Amino acid sequence: MAETKNTKSGFSAEERAAMKERARELKQNATKEAALAEQLSKISEFEPDDRALAEKVQRIVTEAAPELDSKLWYGMPAYYRNGKNVLFFQPAQKFGSRYSTLGFNDPANLDDGNMWPAAYAITKIGAAEEKHIVALVKKALS
């Protein structure tokens, strides 16, 4: 796990790097194909465990919801509908976490009463987890 030191700004080096990645992403006006290629290239740079999970998430999401656009969001694989980020995959290495995360943003229709999960820790994706991810994606887009 990477050691994180906060700077005078209060942001860690990893957080500042993510903000710089996001600023670069916003300046780009990539085609759908170029954005997907950039996402796949970024995934290929991940550490082996994160890469394996990200590749599985990428396959699962694109098969379950081919209408979503694959892009990067703060340097992380993300999936957009109508220009809005619905979900993303945060590799453990991104902020030195002990697990990767599948996260959902406001456009995801996961609401369930007054409180519901918007992020899920992932350490392995087997058949049961794949089925759960597909169900979450489909509900998020409903």
> How confident is the model over 53-93, as pLDDT tens digits?
999 999 999 999 999 999 999 899 999 999 999 999 999 99
Within 17-140, strands assigned E span: 69-73, 76-81, 84-90, 100-104, 119-122
- Give dist(CA 26, CA 23) in Å, integer: 5
Q: HSE (CB half, 13 Å, CA atoms) of 39?
A: 26
Residues 127, 47 contacting (CB under 8 angstroms): no
In the chain, the domains with their CATH numbers are: 13-140 (3.90.1150.200)
Model's pTM, two decimal places? 0.79
pLDDT computed for residue 29 by the predictor:
60
Which residues, at least 6 apart from 118, have a Cβ–Cβ distance to it below 8 Å?
103, 104, 105, 108, 110
- pLDDT digits over 74-84, tens only? 899 999 999 99
pLDDT of 95 > 90? The answer is no
pLDDT digits (tens, 9 = 90+) for 13-28: 778 777 777 666 666 6
